[in-house]
């Protein structure tokens, strides 16, 4: 039997089941505690608190970095994919992410990434609103 590292387990099991980069980012952000560290009961049980915490922080940093490097046109499609699982419209989903603010970051002190992510979310929100206006209603 091959044992997986906590990070490998997280990537191949938990994150693989989540559709969309933005949804992965929102999920990992939801696991970060306000006082620092992460909380994931199942991972802590299997891999231990410290190993689980390191894996979650590493994955969170990786996903954030990928989001910030992804062309905005690809993120528009990703937003639609990410929002499908939430039963929210893409516009509502991205607005919810904007409201989460620093909770989406692995480190709230990372003001550069915070500013960059905020710009990306504002652009996605604007593009989604403009798309809605440009699409004629079918009524």
pLDDT at 95: 94
Q: Identify the pLDDT of residue 4.
A: 82
Per-residue pLDDT tens for 19-62? 999 999 999 999 998 888 899 988 999 999 999 999 999 999 99
Distance CA 41, CA 60 (A): 17
pTM of the model: 0.89
For residue 108 the two structure tokens come to: 């709230």
- Mean pLDDT in the chain? 90
What confidence category does residue 85 fall into, taking pLDDT thresholds of 50, 70 and 90?
confident
DSSP, residue by residue, 40-75: -HHHHHHH-HHHHHHHHHHHHHHHHHHHHHS-HHHH
The larger pLDDT score, comparing residue 23 to residue 109, is at 23
Q: What is the mean pLDDT of residues 118-139?
A: 80
Match 């652009």 to its residue by tokens: 123
pLDDT score of 133 more than 70: no
**Domain residue spans of the chain:** 6-134
């Amino acid at each position: 039997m091959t044992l997986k590292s906590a990070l490998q387990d997280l990537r191949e099991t938990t994150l693989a089941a989540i559709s969309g980069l933005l949804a992965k980012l929102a999920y990992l952000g939801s696991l970060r505690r306000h006082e620092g560290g992460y909380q994931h009961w199942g991972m802590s049980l299997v891999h231990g608190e410290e190993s689980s915490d390191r894996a979650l922080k590493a994955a969170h940093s990786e996903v954030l970095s990928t989001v910030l490097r992804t062309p905005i046109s690809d993120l528009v499609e990703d937003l639609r994919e990410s929002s499908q699982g939430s039963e929210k419209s893409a516009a509502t989903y991205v607005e919810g992410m904007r409201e989460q603010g620093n909770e989406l970051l692995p480190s709230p002190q990372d003001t550069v990434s915070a500013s960059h992510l905020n710009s990306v979310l504002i652009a996605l929100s604007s593009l989604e609103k403009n798309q809605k206006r440009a699409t004629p209603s079918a009524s």
